[in-house]
Amino acid sequence: MALKNSLRALMWLTKNESAFKQELLLAIIAVPLLCIWSIPLIEKAILASSLLFVLFAEVVNTAIEATVDRIGTELHSLSGLAKDLGSAAVLIAIALASVLWLAVLFKHI
């Protein structure tokens, strides 16, 4: 049942969240490149994990946004803060992935 719920959530994200779609597209492009890139397996795993971490952060951010919106639509500083913190988590995940990808790229060029 948990797998079914998770897949339903991922399908919803794919249909409704433009940021998730963009990050998923990046992962879909990057993973095949990792398969053909001649780098150590551990580096491939780290880079793939960094992409999954970005998707994870986006899922959590969307969950925060959905919860805040469910509680109420009126403007409140804590609601805005919660949404901003979720967005900051995604930004940090993207920064982490970028640093890892650049470090591996510069190591191998």
| Catalytically annotated residue among 23, 43, 58, 74 | 58
Tokens of 21: 């779609």
Q: Which residues of the chain have pLDDT under 50?
A: none
Structure pTM? 0.94
Q: For 32-48, how does the pLDDT look when each residue is reduced to its tens digit (9 = 90+)?
A: 999 999 999 999 999 99
Catalytic residue flag (residue 65): no
Nearest-angstrom CA–CA distance, 42 and 107: 14
Three state DSSP letters for the chain: CHHHHHHHHHHHHHHHCHHHHHHHHHHHHHHHHHHHCCCCHHHHHHHHHHHHHHHHHHHHHHHHHHHHHHHCCCCCHHHHHHHHHHHHHHHHHHHHHHHHHHHHHHHCC
